[in-house]
Amino acid sequence: MELGNSCFQSDLDFCPECGTILPLPGVQDKVTCVRCSFSIDVRDFEGKVVQSCVEFNRLGSVALMIMDDGQEVKGPMIDRKCPQCGHEGMVYHTRQMRSADEGQTVFYTCGQCKWLLLPAAFPSLGAWESLWTCLHLKYVV
């Protein structure tokens, strides 16, 4: 691997130019950084062992909280029409679902029918545009 005047001295998992995590080698001759387009010959990855571990939560350790029909949804309200019932005004809350350098994910809940509106990112769209996927969940905000 020819590093030239690279900014970083790094493992093959990271781009030596910008520090971004590199994609896994595929069938192409080069592994190219998605951020700065720096390329590394795929043969430089020969003999590299990639090990991963998946840990599952025990059954019952994570539970969806069900909201009673009479229970009020609380939180800041926004002028947004519910796609399920047409009620004007949805409550929202945010969560940090990805890494700290990514923006927060915003969840909208209808104050009337408790419809939860979730964002779903589809990488096939190229620019990671967000689409809204509607799920009918009764969720405590």
On whether both 46 and 94 belong to a single domain, the answer is no
Is 106 within a domain? Answer: yes
Do 34 and 82 belong together in one domain? no
Q: Where residue 129 sits, what CATH number does that domain have?
A: 2.20.25
Please write down the HEC assignment for all residues of 24-91.
Answer: CCCCCCEEECCCCCCEEEHHHHCCCCCCCCCCCCCCCCCCCCCCCCCCCCCCCEEEEECCCCCCEEEE
Q: Are 48 and 83 in the same domain?
A: no
| Tokens representing residue 2 in the block | 């020819």
Q: Do the domain assignments include residue 58? A: no
64 part of a folded domain: no
How do residues 32-88 score in pLDDT, each as one tens digit? 999 999 999 999 888 888 777 887 767 755 444 445 556 677 788 888 888 888 888
Residue 35 belongs to some domain of the structure: yes
The answer to the question of residue 87 being in a domain is yes
Model confidence at 30: pLDDT above 70: yes
Task: Look at residue 70 and tell me if it is in a domain.
Answer: no
Please tell me the pTM assigned to this model.
0.39
By the 8 A CB rule, do 22 and 11 touch? Answer: no
Confirm whether 20 is domain-assigned.
Answer: yes
Structurally, the chain folds into a number of domains equal to 2
Q: Are residues 88 and 44 in the same domain?
A: no
Instruction: Check if the beta carbon of residue 29 is closer than 8 Å to that of residue 42.
Output: yes
In a domain, 116, yes or no: yes
Alpha carbon distance 81, 89 (integer Å): 6
Domain ranges, residue 39: 1-52
